[in-house]
Every structure is written in C-alpha cells, then in structure tokens.
Amino acid sequence: MSAVQTSFGRVDDNGTVYLSDNGIERAIGSQPTMSHEEALNFYIKRFEDMAATVRLLEQRTKAKADPKSINKSATKLLADLENANVVGDVESLRQKLRLIIEQLSVAVAELEEVRKLETEKAIADREAIAEAAEAIANTDAKKINYKQASAKMLELFNQWQALQKGNARVPKSKADLIWKRFSQARNTFESNKRAYFASQDQLAKASKGAKSDLAAKAEALVEKGADASVEYRELLNQWKKLPKVKSKSDDALWERFKAAGDAIYAAKSEKMKADDIEFAANLEAKLALLVEAEAIEVEKDLEKAKAALKSIQARWEKAGKVPRDSIRKIEDRLKAVEQKIKSFEQELWRKSDPTTIDRTNSLRTQLEQAIAKLEEEVKAAESKGDSKAASKAKEALEAKQSWLKVVLEA
C-alpha cells in the first residue's frame, strides 16, 4: 500500500515515485532525502512547469507568433512527455500539444511558401545587382562616364549590403556564386577606370606640350599683324584636332592662344577699315564704269559692243581694289554685261552657221509642205461634210503651223 497517492501518481513505502499514465503505472524516480509528500510534490511541480510551458505555447499560437518556432517547441515537448519524470495529467498535455501542432500545420506551410518567395526574390535582386555591375564593367571605355558609373557602382554595393541585412535566407552556395560575379564586375570596372585615367593623364601631358607649342607660335605671329591671319587659322585648325582636357593649365594655354588670335584679328580689322577708306575712290570709278557697261547696246553693233567692253575691262583693272563688302556686288553686275554680250554673240553665230541654216531650211520646207497637204485635207473633208475628219486635220494643221512659227523665229 502506498504511503502517499494522487490521481496521477503515488509514492510507495520504499520512497519510489510512480506516474499513472492512461492506466499504466511507471516508476519515475525517488528522492531519498525527502519525505514521501515532498517527493511527490517535487514531481508534481515538474509537471506544473511543463503545463506552464504548454500554456505559453497556446498563448503564442493565439497571438500568431512565429509558427515555425512554436511548432518546433511543441513537437519537442510532445516527444519529451513520452519519458517525462513528472506527476500529473500527462495525456491532457499531449492533447493540447497535438492541437497546437495541428493548428500550426497550415501556418507553417504558408510561412514556408512566404520564405521561399522571399528567398527567390532575394536571389533575383542579387542577380539584378550583378547584371547591372557587369553591364557597367563591359561598357566601352570611350563611351562611359566614370563619375556617374562610379556612383552607380557604389549604389549597387550599398544595395547588396542592405540585402545581406534582410531576413530572407539565401543558400550560401548560391549567394557566393552571385557575389563572385558582382565582385569580378567591380574589379574589372576599377581596373578599366585606372587604365582609362592613366591614358588620359598621358594624353593630357602630350596635349599640354602640343598646345604650349601652338600658343608660342601664335604669340610669335602677333608681330606680323594682319598678314598673320592665314597662318593663325592653320594653327587654330591644329589646336582643334588636339584632345580637350579639363584642367587649369589647359584653360591658361587657350587664353594665351586666343589672346594672340584676338590681337591678329584686331590688326586685320583695322587694316580692313583703312583699306575701305583708301579704296572708296576706286569704288566710285568702278561704279561709273558699270553705268557705262550697262548702257552698251549689243543688238545694234556686236563688234562695237565688244570693243567698248574690252576698254571698260582694261580701265576696271586699273581702277584697283574696292572695299570688301562691295566686291561681290559690282563684280556680279560686270559679269552680267559680259554674259549678255557673249550670249548675243553665240546666238548670232548659231543663226549664221551654214549647217544650222541648212537644217532650218530643210525643216521649214518639210513643215510648209505638210501644212499645204493638211489644208487640202481640211477642204476635202469639209466638202464631204465629214466633220470628224475635218476636225482631226485641223488639229494636225495647227500643230504644224506652231512648229513653223518656232522655226521662223529661231
């Protein structure tokens, strides 16, 4: 007979504590230093601790806390109850734990799906970063803007770090593979950038030397004044072919080169103003010659017109230079007179050419014969009352008469 007993356990006379689980009794231990009541209460307290843990899991389930964590704890606790050294209604705890696990099954599956999608997105985001970095690294060095590209690379790196701090779990093997791509792209970009700026430095040095030489040559031309404008233009063309470098020294060289050009063109402008004053009288003389030339009546006497033009041309050359802004205008007027006399002479020669005359006479004869024949056809058709034939013959007759008129006027 037990010394102490409850609904779910007892202590025998030897101090051994037993648990009654679904009608099956199992020895769970003994506490020799305790009384029977204390020993039984010791194992009851253990049960109450487990029951408190179950209640906590129930509360967390209702609060919809992390289902995976709750499920893990409930599953372990359910397994522990199989050999738990406690005294109490173990079966009721099992039922509560099974209910918790059952309730969590859907939530755990949903959580797994969410985490799967989060993982897929995290992988896609990392791959997008790697692809963007590779695109930058593979851009033609002549077309890339390294300032903007460097800022973009830093932005991509910050994005990667932000993803690393996220909750989404990415398999290490997959993450390492994508990181390798991203890292290689960054290294390639940095290598290309260093090479580009090294070449730019060399180019800048070469350009600086060439521009310094051109600036010195331009400054040497200043002493020539207006006469140096053509040579300065050649130097300017050489300057334009050199690479543009953004530096204070390049700007300073350009200021030197430009100042020399300004001085040369200023001298040229002054010379042109002086020339215009000097050539004003020449302009008046040529304008008078134009009036004389434009008054030539070539139709009256070709030879006399040619002689007059020749005299005018000789005096034109002796008159000398005129202001630059008047050259084109007066030259065009003289050329118009020259062309008028030339065209008249060519037309006169064409009309007097024996071959042309013979050809014209032959065509004239043919047309006159055709016209006479058509006139007879018109009369014949009208006498017969054939209006259709008469109309057709008249059309042909009018056409031939028009051609004859052209031939006679030629």
Q: What is the mean pLDDT of each run of 10 residues along the chain (410 residues)?
A: 74 92 91 91 95 94 85 92 92 93 79 75 86 88 83 87 77 85 87 80 75 82 78 84 75 84 80 73 86 86 88 89 85 90 83 60 74 84 85 83 70
Which of the listed residues 338, 363, 381 is the one where a domain comes to its end?
A: 338
Same domain, 378 and 326: no
Q: Is residue 344 part of a domain?
A: no
Same domain, 196 and 129: yes
- pLDDT for residue 115: 75
Q: Is residue 11 part of a domain?
A: yes
Which of the listed residues 112, 131, 166 is the one where a domain comes to its end?
A: 112
Q: Is residue 10 part of a domain?
A: yes
Residue pair 52/62 in contact (Cβ under 8 Å)? The answer is no
d(CA 173, CA 175): 6
Q: Is residue 348 part of a domain?
A: no
Q: Is residue 257 part of a domain?
A: yes
- pLDDT for residue 75: 93
Q: Is residue 182 part of a domain?
A: yes
- pLDDT for residue 97: 94
Same domain, 94 and 9: yes
Same domain, 70 and 11: yes
Q: Is residue 346 part of a domain?
A: no
- pLDDT for residue 113: 73
Same domain, 214 and 245: yes
Same domain, 263 and 284: no
What's the longest Cα–Cα distance across the chain? 167
Residue pair 45/17 in contact (Cβ under 8 Å)? The answer is no
d(CA 63, CA 291): 112
pTM comes to 0.39
Same domain, 8 and 97: yes
CB-based contacts of 407, cutoff 8 Å, min separation 6: 360, 363, 364, 367
Q: What residue type is assigned to position 389 of the chain?
A: A
Same domain, 104 and 26: yes
Alpha-carbon distance values, 284 to 270, 280, 321, 322 (Å): 22, 7, 11, 9
d(CA 246, CA 147): 14
Same domain, 325 and 358: no
Q: Is residue 219 part of a domain?
A: yes
Same domain, 11 and 108: yes
What token pair was written down for 155? Answer: 């932005």
Residue pair 395/387 in contact (Cβ under 8 Å)? The answer is no
d(CA 245, CA 253): 11
Same domain, 241 and 266: yes
- Domains of the chain: total: 5
- Tell me whether residue 173 is exposed, middle or buried, using C-beta atoms within 10 angstroms of its C-beta: 0 to 12, 13 to 18, 19 or more: exposed
Instruction: Tell me which residue range forms the domain holding 392.
Output: 354-409
Same domain, 334 and 374: no
